[in-house]
Structure 1
Amino acid sequence: MRSNSRRRQSPHSTSRQPSAPASGQERSGVRWVTVDDDTAGQRVDNFLLAQLRGVPKSVVYRILRKGEVRVNKGRVKPDSRLKAGDQVRIPPVTQKKKEAPVVPGSRVQAVMENAVVFENEQMLVVNKPSGIAVHGGSGLDFGLIEVLRAARPEARFLELVHRLDRDTSGLVMVAKKRSALRFLQDELRQKRIRKHYHALVAGDWPDTLERIDEPLLRYEMSNGERRVRVDAEGKASLTLFRVLARYPGYTLVQASPVTGRTHQIRVHSTCAGHPIAGDDKYMDDVSLKAFRAAGGQRLMLHARSLELTMPGSGEAARFEAPYDDAFDAVLARMARR
């Protein structure tokens, strides 16, 4: 006999509900993103990492592997290249809630805007002050790039092309389009952009010491601080040097890095026996104390000039940044000694 009775749910059973995100997390819905001209050519995995900031890389690659990410409704591999007009499906994922960023004040925004030495539709060139990092992190609420984004809320794209140490002043390139970023970073990789720094070093730099090609290795100290040293196991590194001026106990040199290793000029100068004045990482304590007693309060390293081919136009260009007041004051005192 056919039963018309329905299966009743146990009073102790519960219907399955979607699990709520953990505290401090939020779950987004499905998104469809159209690839624009600036994003065209980017790998799918890099595109997703930019779209899903705060999501672990393992999660991004898992949703790709499972086919949850679609481009024009089709499955794609992580290294697939996107084209302008592509429709990218981004599935729901759990992201860490972003804390409200610290907004740089109007004063620091004005300082950074005044530091812009060149601007067109493709890029900015900024004379970064000493003491300001190029980006936030490691205990810093913001750096040069965050300040520029705050000062230019209408800008759709602003990205660093390269970096400078926090205590180094001078020229930094910032791309205003992804195509310009790709072009300039490729020019750097191909060593077609020439960067020249001015450094005041301790001692009498020999005129005959025109190049240092010692390999450099990054390492971590016992307190967690990262440093660099000359080491046979390190990466090949080359810096060209030229004497610009001599002062009692110091020499002003031009340093032109052919490779772009972390702390390259600072470590190459030190290994030559002429550390950069004011360098609290690589100058010995006695020399550092003597420099500061003479009125030096900053690292005497300045990214003086850039020579490059401009993105978009292909024209050759050269940019130069003046020293700041502190750098100028040290050289003036040296000249009077």
Structure 2
Amino acid sequence: MRLDNFLLREFKNVPKSRIYKIIRSGEVRVNKGRAKPSTRLIEADEVRLPPVRMAPTSDPGRPPDALIDKVERAIVTETADYLVFAKPPGLAVHAGTGLRFGLIEVLRAARPGEYFELVHRLDRQTSGCLLVARSRSALDDLRAGLNDAAACKRYVALVEGQWSHGRIEVDAPLSRDTERSGERVVTVDPVAGRASLSIFDPVAVYTDASRMDVEIRTGRTHQIRVHAAHCGHPVAADDKYGPNARASVWRERGLSRMALHAAAVNLDFRGQRLGFEAPLAEDLVALFKRLDHD
């Protein structure tokens, strides 16, 4: 486990910014030495934790019925081992700063006493296929399947500009250890980054944008967004890795969120090859229709 993820687990109610600050300042020691957020902890490592004041936990209460209904209606497949969601855009997968409920909290509140855990995550703005495990053993097996080289995730994306690279593989290692304007961002880092592979395939080219099918063989944070920007074609309306001015243009054209959709997930699970799909979100269906007629 990465050191930052370990600390986030240990200090559940401490802001992320505070976690990264105590790592950078050297207050956290691993085997008596300074460490980076990306340092990998192994069994028998000695981790010194500084005293950190944590905010008292409070009961967030019950999610609104409309939100519970929204989550339940997003289920596309349900088995004894897992749930598959077509996550709508704007719905976070878990609670966070200033957000009382994410999909997983809503699900646990709607079905008390049952086990639910996220197998993987999607950005709040990203719509599409999301897996939730219904037991610890299923969680371990599904995550193992996703981490296997045979696993594949397919996305639909709209990127800025007219794509001219054809079908290409983007093999650009990614690092999460960069800070920009007080915010953690992912960057291409050939030296210290982790292996990251995305395959971009143009489907349609418009006046100022291109529709892409994207397959990822690794599941790094913000992988498609960073790789698309690395190619000179950031995801449309992505104000983190693309120009803010363009995000404003897309909002004026009716796109209120980043144009990225998790269309399908394929993985091996307990000796079977499983494939899950999520239909294209309605706002992107409408957007592509408008672009087709422009």
TM-score (norm. length: structure 1): 0.68
Is the aligned partner of 1:238 residue 2:232? no
Alpha-carbon distance in 2 for matches of 1:55, 1:285: 31
- C-alpha deviation, 1:96, in angstroms: 8.5
Question: Alignment identity in percent?
Answer: 42
State the match for 1:114 in structure 2.
73
Deviations 1:117-173 (Å, cap 9, x if unpaired)? 101000001111111211112222121100111111141x10001111111111111
State the match for 1:165 in structure 2.
123
Paired amino acid for 1:321 = A
Is the aligned partner of 1:176 residue 2:96? no
State the match for 1:199 in structure 2.
157
CA contact (8 A) 1:298 1:326 kept: no
Is the aligned partner of 1:331 residue 2:288? yes
- C-alpha deviation, 1:176, in angstroms: 0.3
Alpha-carbon distance in 2 for matches of 1:184, 1:213: 25
Paired amino acid for 1:214 = A
- Inter-CA distance 108–283: structure 2 relative to 1 (3 Å threshold): same
CA RMSD of aligned residues (A): 2.6
Q: Secondary structure at the match of 2:242?
A: coil
- Inter-CA distance 274–152: structure 2 relative to 1 (3 Å threshold): same
Alpha-carbon distance in 2 for matches of 1:270, 1:115: 30
- C-alpha deviation, 1:315, in angstroms: 2.9
State the match for 1:134 in structure 2.
93
Paired amino acid for 1:326 = D
Q: Secondary structure at the match of 1:133?
A: coil
Q: Secondary structure at the match of 1:221?
A: strand
Alpha-carbon distance in 2 for matches of 1:54, 1:135: 13
Paired amino acid for 1:151 = A
Q: Which moved more, 1:269-278 or 1:234-243?
A: 234-243
Alpha-carbon distance in 1 for matches of 2:160, 2:11: 44
Q: Secondary structure at the match of 1:164?
A: coil
State the match for 2:25 in structure 1.
none
Q: Secondary structure at the match of 1:288?
A: helix
Unpaired segments ≥5 residues, structure 1: 1-49, 57-77, 81-94
Q: Secondary structure at the match of 2:288?
A: helix
- C-alpha deviation, 1:298, in angstroms: 1.3
State the match for 2:50 in structure 1.
none
State the match for 1:276 in structure 2.
235
- C-alpha deviation, 1:209, in angstroms: 4.0
1:285 to 237, 244, 264: 244
Deviations 1:76-125 (Å, cap 9, x if unpaired)? xx979xxxxxxxxxxxxxx9964212321111111111000101000001
CA contact (8 A) 1:54 1:96 kept: no
Alpha-carbon distance in 1 for matches of 2:149, 2:82: 19
Alpha-carbon distance in 1 for matches of 2:122, 2:155: 11
Q: Secondary structure at the match of 2:85?
A: strand
Residues matched between the structures, number: 250
- C-alpha deviation, 1:220, in angstroms: 4.5
CA contact (8 A) 1:200 1:250 kept: yes
CA contact (8 A) 2:261 2:281 kept: no
State the match for 2:257 in structure 1.
298
State the match for 2:102 in structure 1.
143
State the match for 2:23 in structure 1.
none
Is the aligned partner of 1:105 residue 2:61? no
- C-alpha deviation, 1:177, in angstroms: 1.0
- C-alpha deviation, 1:222, in angstroms: 5.0
CA contact (8 A) 1:126 1:170 kept: yes
Q: Secondary structure at the match of 1:333?
A: helix
Deviations 1:281-309 (Å, cap 9, x if unpaired)? 11113322332232221110000011123
Alpha-carbon distance in 1 for matches of 2:64, 2:11: 25
Q: Secondary structure at the match of 2:66?
A: helix
Deviations 1:206-250 (Å, cap 9, x if unpaired)? 353411011112245354211111122322211011122222221
State the match for 1:264 in structure 2.
223
Alpha-carbon distance in 2 for matches of 1:98, 1:145: 18
CA contact (8 A) 1:102 1:142 kept: no
TM-score (norm. length: structure 2): 0.78
